[in-house]
Amino acid sequence: MAELPSKVHLTSHPICLKIRGPLMYEDENQCTWHHFVMDQGGDLQVRLCQVNIPSGHMALTTSPLTSSTMPSMWTLHLGKRYLDSMGWFWRIVNHVKEDDMEEMNLKLMKDS
């Protein structure tokens, strides 16, 4: 019988995510996160998926594309949301781990 995937909701979030390459962020533990921008009916959301790429294999960049469209850094603020480098707050919609892969969804807080 096949094992069902185990999905766990996480309450411990990365403290800081810094841009490290096109579509890539790195947290304080040198874990890499790939990001996807989503527009959910006018609400801007970002999906971050942890990927296994050694930090030495990522080209460091601050290309105009990544630096102008995405914040260069997110910092955990009061444990429940992130403050980005452009001064915007992002609510943590969910943070789950399923079959050893972490995924976190952030939603831009329009009133921040």
Please give the distance of CA 39 from its chain centroid, rounded to a whole number. 15
- pLDDT tens for 36-45 read 998 767 789 9
Q: Quickly list H helices, 33-99.
A: 64-69
Question: What mean pLDDT is reported for the chain?
Answer: 83
Exposure class string for 76-95: b at 16+ Cβ within 10 A, else e: beeeebbbbeeeebbebeeb
The pLDDT of residue 57: 52
Query: Which residue is associated with the tokens 């949301």?
Result: 81
Fold of 7-108: Proto-oncogene - Oncogene Product P14tcl1 (2.40.15)
Q: Where are the domains of the chain?
A: 7-108
Q: Are 61 and 18 in contact (CB under 8 A)?
A: no
Give pLDDT tens digits for 56-76. Answer: 554 444 443 444 578 999 999
DSSP reduced 3-state for 56: helix
pLDDT score, position 47: 95
> Any idea of the CA torsion for 62, 63, 68, 69, to the nearest 10 degrees?
-100
CB 93 within 8 Å of CB 33: no
| Six token digits for residue 1 | 């019988």
